[in-house]
């Protein structure tokens, strides 16, 4: 098992948000998590990445059978975890190539093939419809909402994570961009050994992506797991039908 989340409990400030959450993600598996606003989906991504604002009060998170609970975010990234933020932040200064190269060097001991990296940036940017010149600015600096989402998906593809966690990669994308991004994620999924966790509210992306595993999260826990039929149930009956 690549990623194992066992009975995870976590607090934000005084609020208990994660209340005994279990999830397992293996190589080459795509998992979709759906759930009402405020159910704790983004909090779960923060717990996996080791966000300092979150207090993990119980349970464990393991990568390749080793607990990562005490590790800071950069070490988790080095182990191959990647998080695409629901609301990507802007980073002043560092240009895209430098940023990616530094991140890759940290994982491979400085052996990044820069020429190869640049040609992949060009290839993927073209696929995603990202204009070359925006990558000369700081990371996400002055990017539109959709450009930020695409830039983060581009980072993910270049870093080739073991586990890619995408928090609403479809939000804020226009119809054409949605199709492009979904197709891009699907191709990267097919050609890597990595596992994917995709958080989404709608099945519009799922016209292009066919996840085998779907989980419903409510009030800090996974309350149902199954296949794509759960997505149809959410669309038809809403989340009330999952209340226990």
Ligand X SMILES: Nc1ncnc2c1ncn2[C@@H]1O[C@H](COP(=O)(O)OP(=O)(O)OP(=O)(O)O)[C@@H](O)[C@H]1O
Contacting residues toward ligand X, per CB under 6 A: 12-13, 15, 17, 35, 37-43, 53, 86
Question: How far apart are alpha carbons 200 and 41 in whole angstroms?
Answer: 10
Contact 214, 227 (CB under 8 A): yes
The Cβ of residue 119 has, within 10 Å, a number of other Cβ atoms equal to 11
CB of 230 to ligand X, least distance (A): 16
* Position among 39, 42, 155, 164 found at the interface with Mg ion (CB under 5 A): 42
Regarding 39 and contact with Mg ion (CB under 5 A), the answer is no
240: partner contacted, choices ligand X, Mg ion, none (Cβ within 5-8 A by kind): none
Regarding 43 and contact with Mg ion (CB under 5 A), the answer is no
Regarding 200 and contact with Mg ion (CB under 5 A), the answer is no
The residue among 86 and 225 lying less far from Mg ion, judged by its C-beta, is 86
Question: How far apart are alpha carbons 174 and 170 in whole angstroms?
Answer: 9
The residue among 13 and 116 lying less far from ligand X, judged by its C-beta, is 13
Indicate the SS3 state at residue 80. Answer: coil
- DSSP string covering 121-136, please? HHHHHHHHT--GGGGG
8: partner contacted, choices ligand X, Mg ion, none (Cβ within 5-8 A by kind): none
- DSSP state letter for 32: E
CB of 86 to Mg ion, least distance (A): 5
CB of 42 to ligand X, least distance (A): 3
CB of 21 to ligand X, least distance (A): 11
Question: How far apart are alpha carbons 195 and 204 in whole angstroms?
Answer: 21
The residue among 43 and 151 lying less far from ligand X, judged by its C-beta, is 43
The residue among 41 and 149 lying less far from Mg ion, judged by its C-beta, is 41
Question: How far apart are alpha carbons 232 and 64 in whole angstroms?
Answer: 33
52: partner contacted, choices ligand X, Mg ion, none (Cβ within 5-8 A by kind): none
Q: Which two tokens stand for residue 134?
A: 């925006």
In angstroms, the Cα distances linking 40 to 55, 60, 168, 192, 220 are: 14, 17, 13, 28, 5
Binding residues for Mg ion, rule: CB under 5 A, are 41-42, 86
């Amino acid at each position: 098992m690549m990623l194992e989340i066992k009975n995870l409990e976590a607090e934000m400030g005084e609020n208990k948000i994660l209340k005994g959450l279990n999830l397992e993600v293996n190589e080459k598996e795509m998992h979709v998590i759906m759930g009402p606003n405020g159910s704790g989906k983004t909090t779960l991504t923060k717990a996996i990445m080791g966000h300092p604002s979150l207090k993990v009060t119980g349970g464990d998170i393991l990568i390749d059978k080793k607990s990562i609970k005490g590790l800071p975010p950069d070490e988790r990234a080095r182990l191959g975890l990647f998080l695409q933020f629901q609301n990507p932040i802007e980073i002043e200064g560092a240009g895209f190539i430098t940023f990616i190269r530094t991140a890759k060097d940290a994982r491979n001991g400085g052996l990044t093939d820069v020429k190869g990296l640049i040609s992949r940036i060009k290839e993927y940017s073209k696929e995603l419809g990202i204009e070359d010149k925006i990558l000369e600015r700081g990371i996400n600096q002055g990017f539109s909402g959709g450009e930020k989402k695409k830039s983060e998906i581009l980072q993910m593809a270049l870093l080739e994570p073991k586990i890619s966690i995408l928090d609403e990669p479809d939000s804020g994308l226009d119809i054409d961009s949605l199709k492009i991004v979904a197709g891009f994620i699907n191709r990267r999924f097919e050609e890597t050994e990595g596992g994917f966790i995709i958080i989404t509210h709608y099945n519009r992306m799922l016209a292009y992506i066919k996840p085998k595993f779907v989980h419903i999260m409510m009030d800090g826990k996974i309350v149902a797991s199954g296949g794509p039929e759960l997505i149809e149930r959410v669309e038809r009956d809403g989340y009330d039908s999952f209340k226990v």
